[in-house]
Chains A and B, each alone.
Chain A
Amino acid sequence: MSKFSHIYIEEGATAYPVTQHVLSRFPRSIRVAIRHYKDVFNRPHQNFRRQKASPKLILAVKQEPFLYPGPEVCEDFGHPNFYYTSPVLNCIYDCDYCYLQGLYPSANIVIFVNIEDFFKAVDRKLESGPLYLCPSYDTDLLALEGIVPYASRWIEFAATRQDLVIELRTKSANYSAIAHLKPAEQVILAWSLSPGEVARRYERLAPPLKTRLTAIKAALQDGWQVRLCFEPLLKVYSWQHVYNEFLDEVFSILPAEKIFDANIGVFRMSKEHFKRISRMRNDTDVFAFPMVCCEGEVVTYEDEKELRDFFYQGLKRYLPEGKIYG
């Protein structure tokens, strides 16, 4: 069945312009009125995999809180005041290793239509000092730009705020959707990259590496600050070779001196979360390499350090140490 064949709309969300915009994109979808998004999103026993094959949209109004402190395990890039926010829950891509599949009870995509309330919450937070904010953590906003223009809304908003830095993380190649905007120093476009083979194998529905690189190159040419996220580094057969070739490929296309910064993160996950997801996914080998549980109940590869150090050394050939995080 086609994507978004049904759109569930909270009673309170109907009047918002974003709701009307999204509905106009899907004139043939069946519209189902609901009282609260959790009546659909939080139903028991939902099958994430089956729903992923025919995801639905849920339009809802977010209530407080709008901003959450950045999780310990995520890189803060030296910003003391690191927060994230989720104007959208879930993603149109389907990466085997995606942590969202055990995080939410449903694979359906929730769009919170009261974007202005998110902005007001940011303004309130800014009163107490500078803020580093990630609005594309539990989703991929740029990938959704054709459905709901939130990447551009966040860019436009951030561009008018001193003391605010936002990171828009993405695997999308949809740069053309925001290419008309003026690059802003408050905005970092952060692309997650994996070797072509890894992307093909484990990042279903996401654009191939080459297409992502072309998008990044265009963004750099236009003067955007671009962060490269090499995360999660995955254990694959002959990973040394695969990751070396990958770095060569990336920097044969992208001018290294124009890259704002980069971060590295080997695959890791909380133990409980890992258990849940790996049980759900017996159709992928991404969780099948020997793992250990280290400090803080986090699961990672036994030779995580080796993988990380190897990649770090490789990346250092292209970027100065000061620009590499993680």
Chain B
Amino acid sequence: MIYVVTALPYEASPIIKKYGLKRDEACRHFPLYRADNMVLIVSGVGKLASAMATAYLLAQNMKHEEAKEEESLAVINIGVCGAVDQRYPIGTSVLIYKVIDHETGKQYFPDILIQHPFEEGSVETCNQVVRREDVLSSRVELQANLVDMEASGFFQAASRFLAPHQIYIVKVVGDHLDVVDFNGQRVTQCITGALEAMDELLKQVQKVCRVESDVLTPDERLQLGQVKQSLRLTVTQSHQLMDMARRYKLRTGRSLPDLSEFARTEVKVKAEGRKALEKIRRLLLYE
């Protein structure tokens, strides 16, 4: 599943169109859009808004335990930014390797482990709109070439849930800090221009962000679950059982032996369960 966070509806609309996302009317807190393998949230402007929306999106939707085998999990913040340096033409899309929070000075680093079609760079997230004259007069001192208002909030929230290689930030240069009138259409145009590259990125992301599949098949996990229940195993014993089962498969390369006999045994006292577990242990470790 790919989760997408944008600040503005203008940034979201080309993505919604390209991936055929549908509005989720059940969500009353944020504009939320879905397709089978993508969920997009529109956070509103600012790092706090971005952090809240990101946390909401991931907490509500990401259920690790239920993740289908081989499913990919990643979250992407895509949006426009300003560039200090004129060497970035309008429409340049940049994959971010470093986020600097202008107010706290903290730095954050996504892991970039994939080939991708973007330029790379760092972005500085500021609470206020930064103007060119602020930078030229040193009223605002920037460390990065790109400026936005969301990335640091987004990254902090996302990294509570995911590994740094599952978090991506794509910024498209929308201006050179010289915008007088906000123009939504221009924003939409910028994002539209980046979509082809984004599609390429998503393919790579899907590959590298696969959830590690378990050596145990769903059927085997089901049977082990029944064994745990009928033998009334404690939490520690349950862990031991799963551990032994996985190691059996790794060592022998075969599927688990039939444990249905144990799944049917209804034990009355804990000691019986312990005994049965010992039997399973011999079966799994010494074959």
Residues of A within 8 A of B (CB): 1, 5-6, 8, 30, 32-35, 39-40, 43-47, 49-51, 53-54, 278, 282, 284-285, 287-290
Contact = CB atoms under 8 A, between A and B. Distances in A.
Contacts of A47: 111, 163, 165
Q: Which of A30, A34, A47, A54 has the most CB of B within 10 A?
A: A47
B85 interface: no
B113 interface: yes
B184 to A, nearest CB: 33
Contacts of A32: 97-98, 109, 122
B60 interface: no
Nearest to B116: A1
B107 interface: yes
A287 B107 CA distance: 38
B163 A285 contact: no
Interface stretch (B1-9, B174-182, B243-251): B243-251
A35 B214 CA distance: 38
A288 B98 contact: no
A268 B246 CA distance: 20
B114 interface: yes
A50 B247 contact: no
B33 to A, nearest CB: 27
Bin chain B's interface residue count.
Answer: 20 to 34
B109 A40 contact: yes
Question: What are the nearest 3 A-B pairs in CB distance?
Answer: A288-B251, A288-B247, A285-B250
Contacts of B98: 32-34
B50 to A, nearest CB: 19
A6 B112 contact: yes
B164 A45 contact: yes
Given A289-B251, A290-B285, A44 B159 contact: yes
A290 B251 CA distance: 10
B215 interface: yes
B119 to A, nearest CB: 10
27 contacts: A1-B112, A1-B115, A8-B109, A30-B97, A32-B98, A32-B122, A34-B98, A34-B109, A39-B109, A43-B109, A43-B159, A44-B159, A45-B159, A45-B162, A46-B111, A46-B164, A46-B165, A51-B165, A54-B114, A282-B215, A285-B250, A285-B251, A285-B253, A288-B246, A288-B247, A290-B285, A290-B286
B120 A30 contact: yes
Given A32-B122, A39-B107, A45-B162, A5 B112 contact: yes
A137 B250 CA distance: 29
Given A1-B112, A35-B107, A50 B250 contact: no
A1 B201 CA distance: 13
Given A49-B212, A285-B247, A290-B286, 10 more contacts: A5-B112, A6-B97, A8-B109, A40-B109, A45-B159, A282-B212, A282-B215, A284-B250, A285-B251, A288-B246
Contact of A282 (B114, B120, B208, B246): B246
Contacts of B165: 46-47, 50-51
A282 B250 contact: yes
A288 B250 contact: yes
A40 B120 CA distance: 17
A43 B99 CA distance: 14
A312 to B, nearest CB: 26
A175 B164 CA distance: 37
Given A6-B97, A287-B247, A288-B247, A34 B107 contact: yes
A8 B110 CA distance: 12
Contact of B163 (A1, A34, A50, A289): A50
Nearest to A52: B113
Interface in B4-35: none
A50 B215 contact: no
Contacts of B215: 282
B159 to A, nearest CB: 7
